[in-house]
Structure 1
Amino acid sequence: MVTTSHDLAEPRVRLLPMGERAVLAEVPDLAAVLSLHAALAENPPAGVDDLVPAARTVLVAFDPARVSREVVRAWILDAARRTPDADASGPLVEVPVRYDGADLASTAEMLGIPVSELVSLHAGVEWTVAFTGFAPGFAYLVSAEWPHDVPRLAEPRTRVPVGAVGLAGGFSGAYPRETPGGWRLIGTTDAVLFDPDAAASVLLPPRARVRFVPEPDRIVAAVASAPSGGHSGKGGEDAAESSSRAGASSSPAASAPIPAPAAAAPALRVLSPGVFTTVQDLGRPGRAALGVARSGALDRMALRVANRLVGNAEGAAGLEIAMGGFVARAEVDTWVCATGALVDIDVDGRPADAFVPQLVPAGAELRIGTARAGLRVYLAVRGGIVAPAALGSRARDVLAGLGPDPVAVGDTLRVGVAASAVPVVDAFPWSVPPALFEVRVAVGPRADWFSAGALSTLRGATWTVSSHADRVGLRLEGPALERTRRDELPSEGMRPGAIQVPPHGRPVVLLADGPVTGGYPVIAVVTDAALDALAQARPGDRVRFRSA
């Protein structure tokens, strides 16, 4: 249920439901977001895992096993009544920039000012990181002193280089990695905006203060004929005070890199990786405020069970094998266990069971056939797969490009030391993934953007999983969900399980690699337990939503 707080000092706050593990606090404007986020960040209670500011909201993620929803709601309302400490703003970060962007001259012309004035103004104001999103470390910067609203490109570029500094709407920002984008590019920085190996991985976290410092003698006005990639319109993106200067060789913070993994023994040599195989553990929870998705195994229970059956800790890294087809040769005697989708398993030419630990002798081949039901197979290897970590996890995030590269032919998989002995298991209870998934959902924060019958349609229809389904999201085919509001939703925090509805009206269920902010309204949210089941939904399978 959507509720509105009463008797509050401005800004007023609406508390909106976002599944069983989050609350979306909506306030009137971006200034109120900054104030509320600062107040919440002063002293979050145990059990609050993430605070994700956005254009008009702050998403508060929590662990219901450690703190109740009622306590979280009361804490948010209390924070909204308070004025945050004046020193609650973040550190001042100076970012060197060369004003040489492809859109510099055309943007100045559009605004009716000389290039020199645009450069002087952009470098002369102090910016604040309002929120992050779109990509890890991509900061949306605002300033009360910035007077311009700059239209995005009508046609976004397919490639914006790393370090590009741009303008869009009332925001400025810099691209931490090469990506498509529709911002107007006015400069370039060599600052390291995102470094997953640093203790402070993001140079510009929420509430940090930012000044752009022109590099001497390198302000270059782009000629009017320089390619701009389009015209006005909207593109595709959506401690004690300190002062630091970021340069080409600096990292986001003075910190030691993540230690190299301990010596690991080779266990399996990959002969065929199948359709798409990645290393996954339980992911990177609690980093959405930095633009980093949770990622990790989509079917977490399948990975946990596979690990337990070979004596690993539940969160040890294993393989997520989409559609099966994996073949490897054991370098040494190696214990493995496969769970998840229904597949035929062969060890050294002999059939083997899923959900049972299997010893693969040195030199023998392990073969995992094509999935006959379900989509993803999880292979745990005793000792856990050792691979380079990013932000404390070995999970591959396909959207952000974090974590080890997808597994390829010829890769040698190394393992560490197991947590305990291989348990004696004759049989482990499990079931074949169905072709019809019954999924529990709760009402989402933007259900009131839809017609009265849209929720009934969502719950009453039988949806078909589209071929456009991956680790980012599950697109569903079926009747269109009718919207009653046609205006654009300002970017707001997202969670795995959020059911977004793009303009075409068909729902998309965000999964573990999904964006941490988004601009499509969320009509409902899948329960956390049901997300594991949806990990096994394959194109052509059917989905029915039921009330949680």
Structure 2
Amino acid sequence: MVRARVLPMGDSAILVEVDSLDHVLALHAQLGASLRNGVVDIVPAARTVLVRIDPRELSLADARAWVQTAAAQASPEARVASDEVVLDIAYDGPDLAETADMLGLSAAEVADRHASARWTVAFTGFAPGFAYLVSPDWPFDVPRLASPRTRVPPGAVGLAAGFTGAYPRETPGGWRLIGTTRARLFDPDAASPALLVPGASVRFRRVPDPIRAPADPMEPGPGPEPEPRRQPKPQPATEPQPALGPDPSGVRIVEPGLLATLQDLGRPGAASLGVSSSGALDRSALRTANRLLGNREGAAAIEVTMGGLRAIPATDQWFAVTGAWGRILLAGREVDPYEAHRWGAGEELHVDWVSHGARVYLAVRGGFDGRVVLGSRATDRLAGLGPVALTAGDVLPIAGDAVAPIPVAGIAPWGAPHDDELEVDLAPGPRGDWFTASAHRTLFETLWTVSNDADRIGVRLDGPALERMAPGELPSEGMVPGAIQVPPTGRPTILLADGPVTGGYPVIAVVTDAALDLLAQARPGTRIRFRHAR
């Protein structure tokens, strides 16, 4: 039996807090063995398990009851042994000597202790395939670097707190680097994309010579040397690549504007691999654009931030523009948004800079094509998955996702997004008890302002600091889009679709799923007032 405390996490998730990492792994295994329809994601972390649901299929009340039943049936002592993954490692990291001094050991002793330990994957997060490994044979609590590196190469093996882990791709990072592995830790084209999954057993096998770090899987180029998978087969590093080759029936980007990416409804269900849901920030606008053209609602379209895009089709097409408000010029003449328009071959479409809202969606009949990664064509800016941001000269093929005729008349009323002041509904977060009563009043009484730090990953708000009762940070726990994290500065940040799947800042509240589309159109300077969700 696992003692479980069920905490709220917005209107489509719950966070289950348990006593230890062993209990996390036991509960995660039991939930996986008794999976219910409507469960989107199960994300283990240091002391919690996040359960995301689709409320249309499974209510929060039923999810809580299912979790409590699973907790009563879970047995930490009965964990099933997994196949062991062996990672070759050279202990050549730049922080090895300094870390050894901190621990009162020699560099050779640190390497010996690390290689002789039997490690278990506790959870994943931070980046796709980044696994947090723990071991009863490793008693050391290693502090992170005071100043994180701006670049940690792929394959670097590091230490932080009681964990060890290997970086699957080049990212910033604050772990102390002690070695290098050439293992392909994340391969989005593999049947099992993550080499290290929660509950897996891991052993580091020492090699005498320095290892050439693997190619960053997010950069085009030849693949690394063979990896130690149980079915080892070297795979070429294939992402992110434009996947937008010369197609005679495609649409050519003349100018991408400030930022243009390919987006569909994302890749929910992969958070346990460290992969966020991603996808269009304004899902309603994407769905509407596709319905106007007779497409599947989730067909891929171009998400244009603040406008400025110019594009030309090679053959006749139909298009629709939804979302943020600005002039739309087709061959120099102005046309309306929220309507299907004929787009003649060679005619330039100009989505001008927007005056209201932040994100425009350009859809074509059939949807745009692009490389599918974990079931989605969406570009994930944080993880580096999917096609890279569009650039001048890219040609996007047409996918053929039309499923119905183009409607004869418009299907919905439309107007300029209200981006001066938004009212956004909040549901309770799991760590509300970390904050004072005055902080909760401040959250709902303040007229917050969207700062310049706003992108697809998250939105930082300007306003008063939210006062905590509990200092410090949490052990990493699962996050959802809409989670309002509060760092020690007290300035809240709202995570969005490309945000990390785990985090260590307490979540005071969560934006409701329906209100996330409003935030997609919030630009720097937009004022936000929060209200309790009904």
Q: Specify the alignment match of 1:155 in structure 2.
A: 147
Is residue 406 of structure 1 aligned with residue 415 of structure 2? Answer: no
Is residue 345 of structure 1 aligned with residue 328 of structure 2? Answer: yes
The alpha-carbon deviation at position 110 of structure 1 amounts to 2.4
SS of 2:252's equivalent? strand
Separation of aligned partners in 2, 1:273 and 1:210: 44
The answer on whether the counterparts of 2:423 and 2:530 sit within 8 Å (CA) in structure 1 is: yes
Separation of aligned partners in 1, 2:252 and 2:434: 52
The answer on whether the counterparts of 1:267 and 1:334 sit within 8 Å (CA) in structure 2 is: no
SS of 2:407's equivalent? coil
Separation of aligned partners in 1, 2:192 and 2:308: 39
Query: Which of 475, 488, 491 is equivalent to 2:476?
Result: 491
Q: Specify the alignment match of 1:423 in structure 2.
A: 407
Where does structure 1 differ by over 4 angstroms across 4 or more consecutive aligned residues? Answer: 251-258, 260-265
Is residue 299 of structure 1 aligned with residue 299 of structure 2? Answer: no
Structure 1 segment 58-137 matched on structure 2, within 5 A: 58-84=49-75, 86=78, 88-137=80-129
Q: Structure 1's 416 and 487: CA in aligned 2 closer, same or farther, altered over 3 A?
A: closer
The alpha-carbon deviation at position 253 of structure 1 amounts to 7.2
Separation of aligned partners in 2, 1:263 and 1:38: 46
Instruction: Deviation per CA, 1:2-53: give whole Å up to 9, x if none.
Output: xxxxxxx5x4221110011111011122222222222222222121121111
SS of 1:385's equivalent? coil
The residue type paired with residue 423 of structure 1 is: P
SS of 1:70's equivalent? helix
Is residue 363 of structure 1 aligned with residue 354 of structure 2? Answer: no
The answer on whether the counterparts of 1:375 and 1:535 sit within 8 Å (CA) in structure 2 is: yes
SS of 1:471's equivalent? coil
Separation of aligned partners in 1, 2:230 and 2:340: 44
Separation of aligned partners in 1, 2:161 and 2:311: 51
Q: Structure 1's 541 and 148: CA in aligned 2 closer, same or farther, altered over 3 A?
A: same
The answer on whether the counterparts of 1:90 and 1:206 sit within 8 Å (CA) in structure 2 is: no
Q: Structure 1's 262 and 370: CA in aligned 2 closer, same or farther, altered over 3 A?
A: closer
Separation of aligned partners in 2, 1:277 and 1:88: 46
The answer on whether the counterparts of 1:500 and 1:507 sit within 8 Å (CA) in structure 2 is: yes
The answer on whether the counterparts of 1:30 and 1:56 sit within 8 Å (CA) in structure 2 is: yes
The answer on whether the counterparts of 1:91 and 1:208 sit within 8 Å (CA) in structure 2 is: yes
Instruction: Deviation per CA, 1:68-111: give whole Å up to 9, x if none.
Output: 21221112112222244835344311111111111222222322
Separation of aligned partners in 1, 2:493 and 2:273: 23
TM-score by length of 1: 0.89
Q: Structure 1's 91 and 478: CA in aligned 2 closer, same or farther, altered over 3 A?
A: same
Is residue 57 of structure 1 aligned with residue 41 of structure 2? Answer: no
The alpha-carbon deviation at position 219 of structure 1 amounts to 6.9
The residue type paired with residue 409 of structure 1 is: A
The alpha-carbon deviation at position 427 of structure 1 amounts to 6.5
The answer on whether the counterparts of 2:43 and 2:478 sit within 8 Å (CA) in structure 1 is: yes
Instruction: Deviation per CA, 1:109-150: give whole Å up to 9, x if none.
Output: 322223332222211121000011111111000011212222
The answer on whether the counterparts of 1:296 and 1:397 sit within 8 Å (CA) in structure 2 is: yes
Separation of aligned partners in 1, 2:245 and 2:456: 29
The alpha-carbon deviation at position 469 of structure 1 amounts to 0.4
Is residue 333 of structure 1 aligned with residue 277 of structure 2? Answer: no
Quick one: percent identity of the two aligned structures? Answer: 57
Separation of aligned partners in 1, 2:122 and 2:168: 16
Q: Specify the alignment match of 1:233 in structure 2.
A: none
The answer on whether the counterparts of 1:33 and 1:58 sit within 8 Å (CA) in structure 2 is: yes
SS of 2:437's equivalent? coil
The residue type paired with residue 306 of structure 1 is: A
The residue type paired with residue 368 of structure 1 is: V
The residue type paired with residue 349 of structure 1 is: G
Q: Specify the alignment match of 1:288 in structure 2.
A: 271
The residue type paired with residue 76 of structure 1 is: V
The alpha-carbon deviation at position 426 of structure 1 amounts to 4.6
Separation of aligned partners in 2, 1:286 and 1:252: 23
Structure 1 segment 148-227 matched on structure 2, within 5 A: 148-215=140-207, 217-218=208-209
Is residue 376 of structure 1 aligned with residue 353 of structure 2? Answer: no
In terms of mean alpha carbon deviation, does 525-534 or 145-154 score higher? 145-154
Query: Which of 7, 12, 18 is equivalent to 2:9?
Result: 18
The alpha-carbon deviation at position 487 of structure 1 amounts to 2.8
The residue type paired with residue 380 of structure 1 is: A
The answer on whether the counterparts of 2:245 and 2:394 sit within 8 Å (CA) in structure 1 is: no
TM-score by length of 2: 0.92
Separation of aligned partners in 1, 2:307 and 2:362: 10
The answer on whether the counterparts of 1:265 and 1:416 sit within 8 Å (CA) in structure 2 is: no
Q: Specify the alignment match of 1:249 in structure 2.
A: 226
Is residue 528 of structure 1 aligned with residue 513 of structure 2? Answer: yes
Separation of aligned partners in 1, 2:333 and 2:230: 53
Separation of aligned partners in 1, 2:524 and 2:149: 31
The alpha-carbon deviation at position 208 of structure 1 amounts to 0.8
SS of 2:515's equivalent? helix
The answer on whether the counterparts of 2:85 and 2:230 sit within 8 Å (CA) in structure 1 is: no
Separation of aligned partners in 2, 1:117 and 1:325: 58
The residue type paired with residue 526 of structure 1 is: V
Separation of aligned partners in 1, 2:368 and 2:296: 12
Separation of aligned partners in 2, 1:251 and 1:316: 37
Separation of aligned partners in 1, 2:261 and 2:139: 46
**Once superposed, what is the RMSD of the aligned Cα atoms?**
2.2
In terms of mean alpha carbon deviation, does 95-104 or 534-543 score higher? 95-104
The residue type paired with residue 157 of structure 2 is: V
Separation of aligned partners in 1, 2:65 and 2:248: 51
The answer on whether the counterparts of 2:244 and 2:396 sit within 8 Å (CA) in structure 1 is: no
Separation of aligned partners in 1, 2:173 and 2:358: 32
Q: Structure 1's 30 and 82: CA in aligned 2 closer, same or farther, altered over 3 A?
A: same
Q: Structure 1's 94 and 30: CA in aligned 2 closer, same or farther, altered over 3 A?
A: same
SS of 2:26's equivalent? helix
Separation of aligned partners in 2, 1:504 and 1:262: 46
Separation of aligned partners in 2, 1:471 and 1:25: 27
Instruction: Deviation per CA, 1:278-334: give whole Å up to 9, x if none.
Output: 000111101111110000000011001101111211111100000111111221111
Q: Specify the alignment match of 2:34 in structure 1.
A: 43
In terms of mean alpha carbon deviation, does 353-362 or 89-98 score higher? 89-98
Q: Specify the alignment match of 2:300 in structure 1.
A: 317
Name the count of aligned residue pairs: 512
Q: Structure 1's 27 and 142: CA in aligned 2 closer, same or farther, altered over 3 A?
A: same
The alpha-carbon deviation at position 420 of structure 1 amounts to 2.4
The answer on whether the counterparts of 2:472 and 2:488 sit within 8 Å (CA) in structure 1 is: no
The alpha-carbon deviation at position 158 of structure 1 amounts to 1.6
Q: Specify the alignment match of 1:224 in structure 2.
A: none
The alpha-carbon deviation at position 375 of structure 1 amounts to 0.5
The answer on whether the counterparts of 2:292 and 2:410 sit within 8 Å (CA) in structure 1 is: no
SS of 2:294's equivalent? coil
Q: Specify the alignment match of 2:380 in structure 1.
A: 397
